[in-house]
Amino acid sequence: MVLYNDGNFVTNSAYPDTDFMGDADYVVPDDSELAEKIKTLYPNFDFVFDDDGNIADVTATEPAEKLPEITLEQRVTATENAVEELISMIMGG
């Protein structure tokens, strides 16, 4: 499992346990308990490092607050307002 500092990861069964991407911040064995824990918690975890700077564990974090859903009517209104503003700017008004 190729891991990045931002918590994203990539796996490839043809190249397990290696930095097959060539840009990994960390590599964790694909079939390890830690890799399974990362997959389970993703994207809500923080790294726990050992004294040598290696990933020793991950801890669960609270999920990020979801943005409120925007209705189609709200999107149309926002688009109409933006178009009106652009026309006004182009026309010098």
Using pLDDT thresholds of 50, 70 and 90, give the confidence band for residue 93.
low
pLDDT digits (tens, 9 = 90+) for 1-54: 999 999 999 999 999 999 998 999 999 999 999 999 999 999 999 999 999 999
Q: Is the pLDDT of residue 67 over 80?
A: no
Tokens of 48: 């726990």
Give the confidence band of 60 by pLDDT, cuts at 50, 70, 90: very high
**Burial class of residue 57, CB neighbours in 10 A (0-12, 13-18, 19+):** middle
- Report how far residue 38's alpha carbon sits from residue 36's, in angstroms, rounded to the nearest whole number: 5
Q: How far apart are the first and last CA of the chain?
A: 56
How far is Cα 37 from Cα 75, in angstroms, rounded to an integer?
38
Taking the CB of residue 87, how many other CB atoms lie within 10 A of it? 10
